[in-house]
A and B are shown apart, each in its own frame.
Chain A
Amino acid sequence: MTVALWGKGVADEISKRIPGSVASSDDNNVVVSGDMLFAVAEFLKTSEFAMDYLANLTSVDYLDYFEIVYHLVSLKRNHRITLKTRVYDREKPAVASVVPLWRGADLQEREVYDLMGIAFEGHPNLKRIFLWNGYPGHPLRRDYL
């Protein structure tokens, strides 16, 4: 069984290396600020955490903000952690793409872009995946009708 890392402990390690990047943390999650997301993700992949596998990437609409959730797994060390980041802009939400780190993020970021309307900066092929060109709006937003 993959071991879930203690969120606060991981947050401490991240803060030591990249000061000011952690917004909050609890037992299971680490929430980082949006502009430092890529640096944190790169640190988690290349450091002794060795998070070499992105199991899942999704997003949640809390109306006040969007939360983008990354489930990171280390196949090498057999542990996992949930990384989150928040975007407060509803008009043009954007966050850094993690495709350069985990190739598997490609389709999942396109799905989030299609259904939630969050742009991923640096994505190699950011276009709609489930819906078609010309579809109005992003249907998984809570204010979509």
Chain B
Amino acid sequence: MEIENRPDVYSGRELDRAEGAEIERMRGAITQPLPEPSDWIDEEEIKKNILLTTVEKMVHWGRHYSTWPVNFGLACCAFEMISLAASRFDLSRFGMELLRASPRQADLMIVAGTVTWKMAPTVRRIYDQMADPKWVLAMGVCAISGGTFRESYSVVPGVNCIIPVDVYVPGCPPRPEALMYGLMKLHDKVTSEDVTHSLKIPLITTGKRAKI
């Protein structure tokens, strides 16, 4: 049914007609439900679609391509981290663009900036709230050692005083490329880890329990 004097704000009437025609075509084509996939996928197709690999490779692949950082910046280094997440440097090509607002969903903590003693309990708490396995990247000289403010009365001399750090990225601030290089180093670390060690489940091998 045509409505007269309808303003063409969003789309032309041709688009509406095409949509209607497509819906009518689909409605007319239905005669019976489609069969289940198991009825029509044959054995050859299954062979082509299943890959065999080790648990370790699978876990490494999953972990290092979805290391979600916690959305957390302390000082000016955070802006370099933000630009890494934005389109020019594009963190999402590593599968890391989801800066989680909740530490419970995050795997990586990028400590971007100066840690003051006033902030130290909060940093520690965010780290404690993150679920295992978790990694920490210290970004910039302030997070690494206190930097310019090392002798100051209010600055933690290196974030490794309060939480364990996996990767250090020096610079004041480090350029996004440097942080990206640090993240790739972290990927190397993640993929070279013994996953059975970090699973913390006793594994049974050749009759006796594996060392944990």
Closest residue of chain B to A128 (Cβ to Cβ) is: B118
Give A139 to B152 CA distance when docked, in angstroms.
10
Scoring A residues 98 to 120 as 1 if CB is less than 8 Å from chain B, else 0, what string do you get?
00000000000000000000000
Give A132 to B117 CA distance when docked, in angstroms.
8
The interface size bin for chain B is under 10
**Is residue A23 contacting chain B, with contact meaning CB distance below 8 A?**
no
Give A131 to B116 CA distance when docked, in angstroms.
9
Closest residue of chain A to B153 (Cβ to Cβ) is: A139
A132 touches B118 (CB 8 A): yes
A130 touches B118 (CB 8 A): yes
**Is residue B154 contacting chain A, with contact meaning CB distance below 8 A?**
yes
Cβ-Cβ contact count across A and B, 8 Å cutoff: 11
Chain A's interface: helix, strand, loop or mixed, by majority?
loop
Closest residue of chain B to A129 (Cβ to Cβ) is: B118
Closest residue of chain B to A137 (Cβ to Cβ) is: B153
Closest residue of chain A to B117 (Cβ to Cβ) is: A132
Give A131 to B153 CA distance when docked, in angstroms.
9
Give A131 to B117 CA distance when docked, in angstroms.
8
| B residues less than 8 Å from A131 (CB atoms) | 117-118, 153-154
Give A87 to B153 CA distance when docked, in angstroms.
26
Give A139 to B116 CA distance when docked, in angstroms.
15
CB-CB contacts below 8 Å: A31-74 with B: none
Give A130 to B118 CA distance when docked, in angstroms.
7
Give A130 to B152 CA distance when docked, in angstroms.
13
Give A132 to B156 CA distance when docked, in angstroms.
14
| A residues less than 8 Å from B116 (CB atoms) | 130
Give A130 to B153 CA distance when docked, in angstroms.
11
Closest residue of chain B to A139 (Cβ to Cβ) is: B153
| A residues less than 8 Å from B153 (CB atoms) | 131, 139
B residues in contact (CB < 8 Å) with A: 116-118, 153-154
